[in-house]
Chains A and B, each alone.
Chain A
Amino acid sequence: MTGEKGLKFTKEHEWLRIEGNRVTVGITDFAQKKLGDIVYVELPELDEEFVEGDAFAVLESVKTAADVYAPVDGIVVEVNDLLEEEPALINTDPFGEGWIAVFEAEGDIDTSGLMDTAAYRQYAEEEE
C-alpha cells in the first residue's frame, strides 16, 4: 500500500491528501477490491462546485456503480483525465495514479470526522 502515509480516510472509503486548502481525493485499496474491475469513471468538470457530501464522481465496475463524495465544500481545481481512458488505474494504483480529483476548500478543513491510517485499517477490517 504505497502512498498511504499522512493520508486521511472517510467512512466511505475515500482517502484524502490535505495540503493547505487543497484536498486530493481517491478511493482506498480496500474500496477498489470491493468494487472489482473499474470500467468507467464519470469525472467532475473543472471549476465545478460541490457541497461536502455531494456525489462528485461515479465509478462503474463490471458489477456495480459507486458514487464518490466531495470531502469539503469547494471547487474542483484538478481532474485526473487519465482515468477517462484508463479507469483501471484506480485498481492498479489507488493511492497514486488512481487519484480522482483535487478540491480547493472554501473554508477551514474540519478533519475531526476523518480517520488516520491505523484507524482506517481497523475500520476496513471490521467491514470485511
Chain B
Amino acid sequence: MSKHYLPNTGPQRRQILQAIGVGAVEDLFSYIPEKLRFSGLLNLPDPIAEPQLVDHMEELAGKNNVEAVNFLGGGIYDHYVPAAIDHVLSRSEFYTAYTPYQPEVSQGTLQAIFEYQSMLCQLTGAAAANASLYDGATTVAEAALLALNATKGRRLLVAGSMHPSYRQVLATYLEDFGAEIEELPLEGGKLKAEAIAPRLGNDVAALIVQSPNFFGIIEDLPALGKLMAAEKGLFVVATDPIALGILEAPGALGADVITGEGQSLGINQSFGGPLLGFMGVADKLVRKMPGRVVGQTADAKGRRGFVLTLQTREQHIRREKATSNICSNQALCALAASVYMSLMGPQGLREVAAQSLAKAAFAREQMTAVPGVELPFAGPFFKEFVLKLPQPAAKVIAAMADKGYYVGIDLGRFFPDMNNCLLMAVTEKRSKSEILGCAAALREVLA
C-alpha cells in the first residue's frame, strides 16, 4: 500500500514497532476480532495528478446551483454575511487556536468569546451566556438536561411547534435519563397557554418552546412566561437571534434558559453546517449552565484580562458529576457571530430583522395571490411562513428548482399530513424582483 501522506518512513516505523515490542502495525489491532476488521484496499479511485484533481473538484463544484434564488430556511437561513467576517476568521491566530486553557497565550481568543457572550446576553436578555454549543438542536437538549438537573422534575413539556429535528435530538439525548417528554398540541400552528396550564405541576422540569416556531409563527411568550413565573419548572425558549432585532428579548419575558441556532449571525448556509448553538441563562442557573464560560478579570498588575471561568462545572474537573459532557465550543463560528454582531450593532440588527419581516410579508402576499395557494395558519410570523399548495410540495419544489427558485422546504418530510405544505423563508437578501419572479414561476408551475 502506498503511504505518500504518512510522514514517517518504513525504517522509522519498524523502529517504533520494535521499541514497543510489536511485530507489525496490524498486531496493534489484534484485540478487534478478525471478522470485524477490514482487509484489502479502500474503495477509492486511482491517484490523479494535481491539475486533473483541480478540474475534478471544479466539476463537482459546478453542480451547485449558486444562481438559484434561495427561500430555504427551516432553521438555517440565507442572511447576508459581511466580507469582514471571513477576513477575521481567516486570520491564523483565530483559526488555528486551540482551546484557550492558558490565558497567558490566549487573550485574543478569550476576548472574542467574552464579547460574543456579552453581546448575546444583550440580545437575549440572559444574565450569562456560554461560549457556544454545537448547534440549535443540541442547545435544546442541553437545556432539558439542565432543567432536569436544576429542578429534580421529570416531565418535560415540549412544544409540538418546535423544529422536528430538535425534538428528535432531544429524545435521543434524553433516552437514558428517565425523563418523560410530553409533546404539547398546537392550535393553528402555535401553542395555547390555556391548554398548557392544566399540565403544569411540581414534577415538570421545563416548558420548552421555540419562537418564532418551526412554522415561522411567533408564540405568545408573554403569556407563557406568566404561566411559568410561579412554577418550579424552567421556561426554556429557543429563538432566532435575528428576530430579536425587533422582538422583545426572551429574558425579559420570564425565560430561564434561552437557546437557539446562531447560524444567522454571519455564518453561511453551506450544506447545513457548521452551525452555532447559543445558550444564555438567568442568574440563578449560571453554575448549572453547560459548556465553557469566559470571564473578565484583572491580572497581577490590575490590567483587564480574560480567563475560562467556572470550570468546576466541567467534565475535566467534575468527571461523571459534570453538569454536561460538553467539553468544547464552536469557537470559530462564535467568532463569526461576534464579528457579525459588532458590525451590525443594535441598529443594524433591527434593520436586518425589519427588512426580513417586510419582505416576508410581501412574499406571503404575492404567493397567496397565486390561484390555489392558501395559508393554513393565521398566527403572526417573522421571516418564514407555511403555504398550502394544490399539489404535493415535493413536486412543486422540483419544478421551481428547474426555474431557478429554491422555493422552500417540503413539510411532508416532517409531518405526514402536510404533504402539500411548503415552508418558505425570506431574508433581507431577497429583492422585490426576486420575490415577484418567484410568484410568477409558482403561477406557471401550478397552472
Across chains A and B, the number of contacting residue pairs, with CB separation under 8 Å, is 19
Which listed segment binds B: A25-33, A60-68, A100-108, A118-126?
Answer: A60-68
Given contacts A40-B287, A42-B287, contact A67 B321 (CB under 8 A): yes
A63 touches B317 (CB 8 A): yes
A64 touches B321 (CB 8 A): no
Interface size range on B against A = under 10
Nearest A residue to B288, CB-CB: A42
Cα distance A61–B321 in the bound complex, in angstroms: 15
Nearest A residue to B286, CB-CB: A40
A60 proximity list for chain B (CB < 8 A) = 287, 312
B292 within 8 A of A: no
A64 touches B312 (CB 8 A): yes
Cα distance A21–B321 in the bound complex, in angstroms: 30
Cα distance A64–B317 in the bound complex, in angstroms: 6
Cα distance A61–B287 in the bound complex, in angstroms: 13
Interface string of B298-336 (1 = CB under 8 A from A): 000000000000001100011001000000000000000
Measured between C-beta atoms, what is the minimum distance from A81 to chain B in Å?
14
Please report whether the interface of chain B is mostly helix, strand, loop or mixed according to DSSP: helix
A42 proximity list for chain B (CB < 8 A) = 287
Nearest B residue to A40, CB-CB: B287
Nearest B residue to A42, CB-CB: B287
Interface size range on A against B = 10 to 19
Nearest A residue to B314, CB-CB: A65
Interface string of A53-91 (1 = CB under 8 A from B): 001000011111101000000000000000000000000
* Residue among A40, A55, A62 having the largest count of chain B Cβ atoms under 10 Å: A40
Cα distance A125–B319 in the bound complex, in angstroms: 27
186-243 of chain B: CB within 8 A of chain A: none
Measured between C-beta atoms, what is the minimum distance from A51 to chain B in Å?
14
Measured between C-beta atoms, what is the minimum distance from B313 to chain A in Å?
7
Measured between C-beta atoms, what is the minimum distance from B162 to chain A in Å?
30
Cα distance A65–B317 in the bound complex, in angstroms: 7
A62 proximity list for chain B (CB < 8 A) = 312
Cα distance A57–B318 in the bound complex, in angstroms: 14
Measured between C-beta atoms, what is the minimum distance from B285 to chain A in Å?
12
B318 proximity list for chain A (CB < 8 A) = 64-65
Instruction: Mark A residues whose CB is within 8 Å of B.
Output: 40, 42, 55, 60-65, 67
Q: Can you report 12 residue pairs joining A to B where beta carbons are below 8 Å apart? A: A60-B287, A60-B312, A61-B312, A62-B312, A63-B312, A63-B317, A64-B312, A64-B317, A64-B318, A65-B312, A65-B313, A65-B321
Instruction: A40-B287, A65-B313, A65-B318 are known; give 12 further A-B pairs, CB within 8 A.
Output: A42-B287, A60-B287, A60-B312, A61-B312, A62-B312, A63-B312, A63-B317, A64-B312, A64-B318, A65-B312, A65-B321, A67-B321
